[in-house]
Amino acid sequence: MNCPKCFSKVETVSFGEIEIERCLGCQGLWFDMLEKEDLVEIEHSEAIDIGDAQVGEEYDGLQYINCPQCNVKMMPMVDKDQAHIRYESCPICYGTFFDAGEFRDLKEHTVLERFTQMLGILRRNL
C-alpha cells in the first residue's frame, strides 16, 4: 500500500494488538475500520504518531484523495469534538487517514476529557 497523500510506501507499526500503517514519507497514519476508535482508548498509544505536526499541517490541506485500498474518493471529515482535526474517511472500507500529529492531538483531548469526567464523578460523590 502507498500513502494516499504523498504516495510514499507505508510501514506497518503495531501497538499492543493493533496494527496500523504509517507513511514513510509524510508519516501520516492509516487506520482500518474502527482501529482508530480502539487505539485512541489505549494508554500511551499516541507514541505511534511520531511525525512532525508541521509536516502534517502541510498535508492537511490535501483533502481530496483516493482510498489506497479501494481507489475511490475519500470523504473529508472533521472530528466531532475537535473541529480543527480534519481527516479523510473511505465510504467503502471505512479506513481513515490522519496527518502527522493529528492522532496525538485527538488523543490529548480524549485523555483530558476523561480526566474532567472523572473529576465530575468525584465531585458528585463528595
Residues that bind Zn ion (CB under 5 A): 3, 5-6, 8, 23, 25-26, 28, 67, 69-70, 90, 92-93, 95
State the nearest-atom distance from the C-beta of 11 to Zn ion, in Å: 11
Cβ-based nearer residue to Zn ion, 28 or 101: 28
Beta bridge partners of 9: 2
Cβ-based nearer residue to Zn ion, 1 or 118: 1
**Which run of H or E residues covers position 73?**
none
CB burial of 2-28 (b: ≥16 within 10 Å; e: otherwise) equals ebbbbeeebeeeebeebebbbbebbbb
State the nearest-atom distance from the C-beta of 18 to Zn ion, in Å: 18
Cβ-based nearer residue to Zn ion, 77 or 93: 93
103 with 86: CB under 8 angstroms?
Answer: no
